[in-house]
A and B are shown apart, each in its own frame.
Chain A
Amino acid sequence: MSQDPTDLPMVQFLSMEGEVRVPAQWAEYGEYLKNLTEADYLKFYRDMARIRRFDNEATALQRQGQLGLWVPAIGQEGAQIGSGYGVGPNDHIFPSYREHGVALTHGIDLMSILKMLRGVNHGGWNPDETRFHLYAIVLGTQVLHATGYAMGVKFDGKVGTGNKDEDLAVISYMGDGATAEGDVSEAFLFAAVNESPIVFFVQNNQWAISSRSSAQTKVPLYQRGDGFGVPGVRIDGNDVLASYAVTAKHMDDARAGKGPSLIEALTYRIGAHTTSDDPTRYREDEEVEYWKARDPITRFEKFLRRNGVAQDFFDEVEHAGELLSAEIREATFALKNPPIENMFKHVYSEQHPVIDEQLAWLEGYEASFGGEQQ
Chain B
Amino acid sequence: MSNMVELPIAKAITAGLREAMRKDDKVLMFGEDVAQLGGVFRVTEGLLDEFGKNRIFDSPIAESGIIGTAIGLAMRGYRPVAEIQFDGFIFPAFDQITSQLARLQNRSEGFTKMPVVIRVPYGGGIGAVEHHSESPEAYFAHTPGLRVISPSTPNDAYWMIQQAIESTDPVLFFEPKRRYWQKGMVNLDEAPGGMHQARVVVPGNDVTLVAYGPMMNVALEAAALGAEEGKSIEVIDIRSMSPIDFATIVDSVKKTGRLVVAHEASTFVSISSEIAARVAELAFYHLEAPPIRVGGFDVPYPAAKLEEKFLPDADRILDAIDRVLAF
Interface residues of A (CB under 8 A from B): 68-69, 116-122, 137-139, 177-178, 180-183, 208-211, 215-216, 276-277, 281-282, 337-338, 340, 342-344, 347, 354-355, 358, 362, 365-366, 373
Q: Would you call B129 and A208 a contact (CB within 8 A)? A: no
8 interchain residue pairs of minimum CB distance? A119-B304, A210-B37, A180-B60, A343-B302, A180-B61, A119-B305, A177-B61, A180-B62
Contact of A343 with B61 at beta-carbon distance under 8 Å, contacts A68-B129, A137-B131 already known: no
Contact of A119 with B58 at beta-carbon distance under 8 Å, contacts A354-B268, A358-B298 already known? no
Instruction: List CB contacts (< 8 Å) of B284-303 with chain A.
Output: 297-300, 302-303
| Given A119-B304, A337-B305, A343-B302, residue A182 in contact with residue B64 (CB < 8 A) | yes
Nearest A residue (CB) for B63: A181
Shortest distance from the beta carbon of B303 to any chain A beta carbon, whole Å: 5
A211 with B298: CB separation less than 8 A: no
CA distance A373 to B62 in the complex (A): 42
With contact pairs A68-B129, A180-B62 given, residues A120 and B32 touching in the complex (Cβ less than 8 Å):
no
* CB-based contact A211/B62 at 8 Å: no
Tier of interface size on chain B: 35 or more
A119–B33 Cα distance when bound, in Å, is: 25
> Bound state CA distance, A364 and B62, in angstroms?
44
B319 at the interface (CB under 8 A from A): yes
Residue numbers in A under 8 Å from B268 (CB-CB): 354
- The CA of A340 and the CA of B309, in the complex, are separated in Å by 7
- Please judge, given known A-B contacts A210-B58, A211-B58, whether A120 and B40 are in contact too, CB under 8 Å: no
Within 8 A of A (CB), among B132-164: 132
Q: Is the CB of A209 within 8 A of B40?
A: yes
Contact between B62 and A182 (Cβ–Cβ < 8 Å)? yes
For B83-111 the 0/1 string (1 means CB < 8 A from A) is 00000110110000000000000000000
| Contact present for B61 and A119 (CB under 8 Å) | no
Residue B212 lies at the interface, judged by CB distance under 8 Å to chain A = no
User: Is the CB–CB distance between A120 and B300 below 8 Å?
Assistant: no
The minimal Cβ–Cβ distance linking A177 to chain B, given in whole angstroms, is 5
Judging by beta carbons under 8 Å apart, are A138 and B302 in contact?
no
In the complex, are the beta carbons of B40 and A137 less than 8 A apart? no
* Chain B residues positioned under 8 Å from A177 (CB to CB): 61
Query: CB-CB < 8 A to B304: which residues of A?
Result: 68, 118-119
Whether the pair A68, B40 counts as a contact (CB closer than 8 A) is: no
The answer to whether B130 has its CB under 8 Å from any CB of chain A is yes
- Interface pairs (18), CB distance under 8 Å: A68-B128, A120-B303, A139-B61, A180-B60, A181-B63, A181-B92, A209-B33, A210-B36, A211-B58, A215-B58, A216-B60, A337-B305, A338-B305, A340-B306, A343-B309, A347-B298, A358-B297, A365-B319
Whether a CB of chain A sits under 8 angstroms from the CB of B65 is yes
- The docked-state distance in angstroms from the alpha carbon of A122 to that of B297 is 17
Given contacts A342-B306, A343-B297, contact A181 B61 (CB under 8 A): yes
Q: A210-B37, A355-B299, A358-B299 are in contact. List 9 more A-B contacts (CB 8 A).
A: A68-B304, A116-B129, A116-B303, A137-B132, A181-B62, A211-B32, A337-B306, A338-B306, A343-B309
B127 within 8 A of A: yes
Q: Which residues of A contact B32 (CB under 8 A)?
A: 208-209, 211
Mark contacts of B15-54 with chain A using CB atoms, 8 A cut-off: 1 yes-contact digit, 0 otherwise: 0000000000000000011001110100000000000000
The complex places the Cα of A120 from the Cα of B307 at a distance, in Å, of: 10
Name the B residues within 8 Å of A354 (CB-CB).
268, 298
Q: Which residue of A lies closest to B302 (CB)?
A: A343
How far, in whole Å, are A281 and B132 apart by their CA atoms in the complex?
22
Which residues of chain B come closer than 8 Å to A338, judged between CB atoms? 303, 305-306
Write the chain B residue with the least CB distance to A182.
B64
- With A68-B128, A119-B304 known as contacts, the answer to whether A355 contacts B298 (CB < 8 A) is yes
Q: How distant is B139 from chain A, measured CB to nearest CB, in Å?
A: 16
A210 near B33 with CB under 8 A, answer yes
